[in-house]
C-alpha cells in the first residue's frame, strides 16, 4: 500500500514552515530556469541562454527559459511526483545545478491557484506540451497543435491577497534580490518596456576599492576594510567587510550567501565562525549543499571544514595587517574590542597577536596589557567585579597589580599569560586571604589589640565575619571588608531561611549546614588609621561596640554591598549612640 499525500497540506507546510516568504516562488522559478539552461548546455547545443519574466494584465505573469525543456515522460516523472528531481538522475553532474529536491514548483501554489506549463524538449522529440496542475492534486497533459520554442514557460495568476507579487516593481525587487549575480541574462518585460535585471559584477569578483564602494552603497556605511574569503574545498569566493561600528555579542549576524550566483539567504548567521561577528560576509559557493528550503546549508563535515577555512582567511588578514598597517590595526582593535577578546580566547595564534593591545581595568586604572607588563612581572586577577572593587584602591597603595577579571573573557585572557610569557606569574586573587599580604603587627601590638579583636568577632559572628588587624596604606581607610560568592550565598540563605515557610526553610538549612562548611567574610582593621587606634585603646565597651558596628557597616557601604535589615538597624543604633554622646557633652544654651 502507498501513503496518501494531501497536496493542499503539503502546500500549507511549504508556505507556513519551509519557506520564510511567499516571494521565494521567484527564486524557485529562477532556479528551475537556470538549471534548465545549464542542462541544455551540457548537451553541447549552441545557444544564448536567457530567462524572461513578463507581466500581463489581470495579475498574471509568465516565466520563460530557453533551456532543455521536458518530454511527456519527464513531465509524468518529475512534475507529478513530489520530491522527484531531474537533477537526481546523474549525481556526478548535479554540482552544476542549484536545486535538487523536486519541490520547488510547488511553491507557486502558495501564490496561485493553478500552474500552467508550456514546454518543448531540446532532445529532438519535438512535441509541444501543456501541463496544468492544481493544488487539489489533479493535473492534465495535452499536446499542442502549434509549435513552441525549445524551453519552458510557466503561467501564473495571483491568488487573492498575493497580487503585489505579480506587480512589476515587486517582481523587479525579487528578481534582483535572488538573481542579481546569476550568469544567465534575466529579462523583465511589461508592455513594451524591457529591463535586464542582472548586469552587475558580483562583489566577490571586484577589486578591494570596488568592493568597498559596493558595501557602502548597499549597507549605507563605509566599511573599515575588505577581507578576501576563499575556500578551495567549498568552491567559495567572497568578501568580509569590517564593520565601522561595534556590535553586541548577542547581535544576530546576517551574512549574504549565494549558491552558484543565486541568493540563498541574506540572514545566514553560521557560515562564518561565531567569533567573527565584527564582519559582514558576502559569499558565493559552488560545492556546499543547500537544505530543502534553500535558505541554509546542510551542516555536514564539508560545511564545518569550509567555515574553518574562511575563519583562517580572517585570521591571516589580521596577522598581516598588524605588520603592514599598524594604524588601521589599532583602529579595528579599538572599535571591535569585545569581538577581538572573543577571538583571542578561542585561538592561540590570535591571542599572541592581540593580547598586547587589549585594555584591562586594573588597580592602577585602565591599561593595555603591554603597559601592564612593562612594570609588573607578578599579576593578581580578581575573578569577579565585586572582589576587584573591594581591593582596588588598597592594592594600588601596596603597589600590587590587580586586574579585574570580572568582565567577559578577561579572567581567561589574563590567566593565559602563563602559557605564553615565561617571565610573568599570574595568580587568582583569594579575596579572603588578601589581608595576609599586609604588614603584620609585632608581638606587643598583637597583645594590645587582642581584646578588641575578640570583642569584634563576638559582635560580628552572627554576620559571618571575622576580624584581623594589619598595617596597610592608605591610612585614611579604617577597615577593609572582603567577601566572596560563597559567603554571600550563605548570608542570602540565612535571610531566606528566616522568611520562608517551614518546609522551604528546612531545605535551605540542609543545603547550608550539611552540604557546606560555613565560610566567613574578613574585616581587616587598619592599624595605620588614627580612629581605629583610638577605638582599640578605648576602655568604654559601649563606645567600642558602636565603633565596631560603624566600622563594619561603613565598610559594607564603601564596598557597595547590600545591607540586611539587621545590619541597617545596627548602623542606625551605633550612629544614634555617638549622636547622643555628642549632644550630652554640649553645654546648655543660656535662655
Distance CA 371, CA 365 (A): 11
Fill in the DSSP letter of residue 162: -
Whether 211 and 264 map to the same domain: the answer is: yes
Query: Quick one: pLDDT at residue 460?
Result: 93
Buried b (16+ CB within 10 A) or exposed e, 93-122: ebeebbbbbbbbbbbbbbbbeebbbbbbbb
Residue in the structure block whose three cell numbers are 522568611: 499
Tens-digit pLDDT profile for residues 174-212:
999 999 999 999 999 999 899 999 988 999 999 999 999
User: Which domain covers residue 413, as residue numbers?
Assistant: 358-429
Q: Is residue 510 part of a domain?
A: no
**Checking DSSP bridges between strand 359-362 and strand 255-259, what pairing results, if any?**
unpaired
- Indicate the pLDDT class of residue 99, thresholds 50, 70 and 90: very low
Sign of the dihedral defined by the CA atoms of residues 217, 219, 221, 227, in that order: negative
Tens-digit pLDDT profile for residues 51-62:
999 999 889 999
> Which is nearest to 55 in space by CA: 64, 46, 68?
64
Instruction: List Cβ neighbours of 403 (8 Å cut-off, separation of 6 or more).
Output: 360, 361, 362, 363, 372, 379, 380, 381, 382, 388, 410, 414
Whether 368 and 225 map to the same domain: the answer is: no
Domain boundary among 196, 225, 250: 196
Residue 281: CATH number of its domain: 3.30.230.80
Q: Is residue 249 part of a domain?
A: yes
- Which residues are annotated binding-site positions for ATP? 28, 32, 65, 152
Asked which of 13-22, 221-230, 392-401 is least confident by mean pLDDT, the reply is 13-22
Whether 119 and 63 map to the same domain: the answer is: yes
Confirm if 283 and 238 have CB atoms less than 8 A apart: yes
Instruction: List Cβ neighbours of 409 (8 Å cut-off, separation of 6 or more).
Output: 341, 342, 344, 345
Distance CA 49, CA 451 (A): 99
Residue 418: CATH number of its domain: 3.40.50.11260
Per DSSP, helices labelled H in 220-336 are 301-324, 326-335
Distance CA 299, CA 374 (A): 46
Per DSSP, helices labelled H in 326-416 are 326-335, 337-346, 348-354, 369-375, 385-397, 410-415
Instruction: List Cβ neighbours of 400 (8 Å cut-off, separation of 6 or more).
Output: 363, 380, 437
If one counts every other C-beta atom within 10 angstroms of the C-beta of residue 530, the result is 11
Tens-digit pLDDT profile for residues 141-171:
999 989 999 999 999 999 999 999 999 999 9
- Which residues are annotated binding-site positions? 28, 32, 65, 152
Whether 390 and 523 map to the same domain: the answer is: no
Asked which of 268-272, 480-484, 543-547 is least confident by mean pLDDT, the reply is 480-484
Query: Quick one: pLDDT at residue 5?
Result: 62
Whether 176 and 61 map to the same domain: the answer is: yes
If one counts every other C-beta atom within 10 angstroms of the C-beta of residue 247, the result is 17
CA dihedral 74, 77, 79, 80 (to 10 degrees): 140
Query: Quick one: pLDDT at residue 591?
Result: 52
Q: Is residue 494 part of a domain?
A: no
Q: For residue 21, what are the β-bridge partners? A: none
Tens-digit pLDDT profile for residues 481-531:
888 766 555 455 555 555 555 655 555 455 555 545 567 888 999 999 999
Fill in the DSSP letter of residue 364: T
Q: Is residue 28 part of a domain?
A: yes
* The model's pTM: 0.73
Tens-digit pLDDT profile for residues 402-436:
999 999 899 999 999 998 888 999 999 988 888 88
Distance CA 127, CA 145 (A): 9
Domain boundary among 324, 349, 381: 324
Whether 406 and 555 map to the same domain: the answer is: no
Largest CA-CA distance found in the chain, in angstroms, rounded = 127
The residue with greater pLDDT, 127 or 380, is 380
Query: Quick one: pLDDT at residue 360?
Result: 95
| For the ranges 72-81, 122-131, 471-480, 498-507, the one whose mean pLDDT is highest | 471-480
Asked which of 290-304, 406-420, 465-479 is least confident by mean pLDDT, the reply is 290-304
Query: Quick one: pLDDT at residue 590?
Result: 57
Query: Quick one: pLDDT at residue 368?
Result: 93
Whether 164 and 224 map to the same domain: the answer is: no
Domain boundary among 306, 324, 342: 324
Q: What Å distances lie between residue 438 and 232, 477, 523, 536, 551, CA to CA?
A: 60, 14, 13, 19, 19
Whether 215 and 189 map to the same domain: the answer is: no
In the structure grid, which three cell numbers stand for residue 88, read together?
537526481
Query: Quick one: pLDDT at residue 175?
Result: 96
Whether 49 and 168 map to the same domain: the answer is: yes
Domain count, the chain: 4
φ, ψ dihedrals at 406, nearest 5°:
-80, -15
Confirm if 398 and 363 have CB atoms less than 8 A apart: no
Distance CA 230, CA 505 (A): 61
Q: Is residue 496 part of a domain?
A: no
| For the ranges 76-90, 128-142, 360-374, the one whose mean pLDDT is highest | 360-374
Whether 178 and 209 map to the same domain: the answer is: no
- Indicate the pLDDT class of residue 90, thresholds 50, 70 and 90: very low
* Sheet of 262-268, strands arranged across: 226-231, 236-242, 279-285, 255-259, 262-268
* Sheet of 359-362, strands arranged across: 365-368, 359-362, 402-404, 378-382, 425-428
Q: What Å distances lie between residue 528 and 50, 444, 589, CA to CA?
A: 89, 16, 38
What is the distance in angstroms between the CA of the first residue and the CA of the last residue of the chain? 114
Whether 241 and 374 map to the same domain: the answer is: no
φ, ψ dihedrals at 205, nearest 5°:
-105, 5
* pLDDT reading at 225 higher than 80: yes
Q: Is residue 502 part of a domain?
A: no
**Average pLDDT in the 226-252 region?**
91
> Which is nearest to 74 in space by CA: 86, 83, 92?
86
Whether 395 and 441 map to the same domain: the answer is: no
- Containing 378, the helix (H) or strand (E) segment is strand 378-382
Amino acid at each position: 500500500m502507498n501513503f496518501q499525500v494531501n497536496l493542499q497540506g503539503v502546500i500549507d507546510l511549504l508556505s507556513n514552515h519551509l519557506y520564510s516568504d511567499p516571494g521565494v516562488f521567484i527564486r524557485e522559478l529562477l532556479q528551475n530556469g537556470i538549471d534548465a539552461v545549464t542542462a541544455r548546455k551540457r548537451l553541447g547545443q549552441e545557444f544564448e541562454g536567457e530567462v524572461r519574466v513578463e507581466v500581463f494584465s489581470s495579475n498574471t505573469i509568465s516565466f520563460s527559459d530557453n533551456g532543455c525543456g521536458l518530454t511527456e515522460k519527464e513531465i509524468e516523472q518529475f512534475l507529478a511526483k513530489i520530491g522527484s528531481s531531474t537533477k537526481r538522475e546523474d549525481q556526478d553532474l548535479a554540482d552544476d545545478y542549484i536545486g535538487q529536491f523536486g519541490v520547488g514548483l510547488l511553491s507557486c501554489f502558495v501564490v496561485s491557484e493553478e500552474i500552467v506549463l508550456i514546454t518543448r524538449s531540446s532532445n529532438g522529440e519535438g512535441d509541444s506540451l501543456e501541463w496544468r496542475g492544481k493544488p487539489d492534486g489533479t493535473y492534465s497533459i495535452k499536446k499542442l497543435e502549434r509549435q513552441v520554442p525549445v524551453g519552458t514557460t510557466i503561467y501564473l495568476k495571483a491568488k487573492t491577497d498575493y497580487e503585489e507579487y505579480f506587480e512589476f516593481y515587486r517582481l523587479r525587487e525579487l528578481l534582483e534580490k535572488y538573481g542579481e549575480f546569476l550568469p544567465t541574462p534575466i529579462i523583465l518585460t511589461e508592455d513594451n518596456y524591457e529591463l535586464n535585471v542582472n548586469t552587475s559584477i558580483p562583489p566577490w569578483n571586484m577589486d578591494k576599492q570596488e568592493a568597498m564602494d559596493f558595501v557602502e552603497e548597499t549597507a549605507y556605511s563605509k566599511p573599515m576594510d575588505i577581507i578576501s574569503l576563499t575556500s578551495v574545498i567549498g568552491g567559495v569566493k567572497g568578501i568580509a567587510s569590517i564593520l565601522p561600528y561595534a556590535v553586541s555579542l548577542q547581535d544576530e549576524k546576517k551574512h549574504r550567501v549565494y549558491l552558484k550566483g543565486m541568493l540563498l539567504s541574506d540572514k545566514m548567521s553560521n557560515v562564518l565562525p561565531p567569533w567573527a561577528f565584527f564582519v559582514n560576509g558576502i559569499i558565493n559557493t559552488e560545492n556546499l549543499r543547500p537544505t530543502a528550503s534553500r535558505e541554509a546549508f546542510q551542516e555536514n563535515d564539508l560545511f564545518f571544514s569550509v567555515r574553518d577555512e574562511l575563519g583562517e582567511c580572517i585570521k591571516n588578514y589580521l596577522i598581516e595587517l598588524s605588520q603592514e598597517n599598524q594604524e588601521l590595526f589599532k583602529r579595528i582593535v579599538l572599535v571591535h574590542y569585545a569581538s577581538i577578546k572573543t577571538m583571542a580566547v578561542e585561538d592561540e595564534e590570535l591571542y599572541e597577536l592581540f593580547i598586547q593591545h587589549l585594555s584591562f581595568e586594573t588597580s592602577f586604572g585602565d591599561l593595555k596589557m603591554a603597559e601592564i607588563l612593562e612594570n609588573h612581572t607578578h599579576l593578581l586577577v580578581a575573578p569577579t567585579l565585586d572582589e576587584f572593587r573591594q581591593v582596588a584602591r588598597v592594592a594600588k597603595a601596596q603597589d600590587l597589580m590587580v586586574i579585574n577579571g570580572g568582565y567577559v573573557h578577561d579572567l581567561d585572557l589574563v590567566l593565559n599569560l602563563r602559557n605564553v610569557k615565561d617571565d610573568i606569574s599570574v595568580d587568582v586573587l583569594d579575596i579572603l586571604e588578601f589581608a595576609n599580604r599586609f604588614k603584620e603587627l609585632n608581638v606587643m601590638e598583637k597583645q594590645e589589640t587582642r581584646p578588641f579583636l575578640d570583642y569584634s568577632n563576638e559582635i560580628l559572628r552572627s554576620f559571618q565575619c571575622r576580624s584581623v588587624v594589619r598595617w596597610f596604606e592608605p591610612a585614611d581607610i579604617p577597615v577593609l571588608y572582603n567577601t566572596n560568592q560563597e559567603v554571600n550565598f550563605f548570608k542570602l540563605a540565612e535571610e531566606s531561611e528566616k522568611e520562608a515557610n517551614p518546609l522551604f526553610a528546612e531545605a535551605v538549612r540542609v543545603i547550608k549546614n550539611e552540604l557546606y562548611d560555613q565560610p566567613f567574610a574578613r574585616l581587616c582593621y587598619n592599624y595605620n588609621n588614627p580612629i581605629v587606634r583610638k577605638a582599640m585603646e578605648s576602655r568604654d565597651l559601649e563606645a567600642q561596640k558602636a565603633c565596631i558596628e560603624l566600622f563594619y557597616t561603613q565598610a559594607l557601604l564603601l564596598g557597595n554591598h547590600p545591607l540586611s535589615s539587621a545590619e541597617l538597624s545596627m548602623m542606625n543604633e551605633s550612629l544614634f549612640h555617638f549622636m547622643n554622646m555628642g549632644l550630652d557633652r554640649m553645654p546648655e544654651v543660656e535662655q
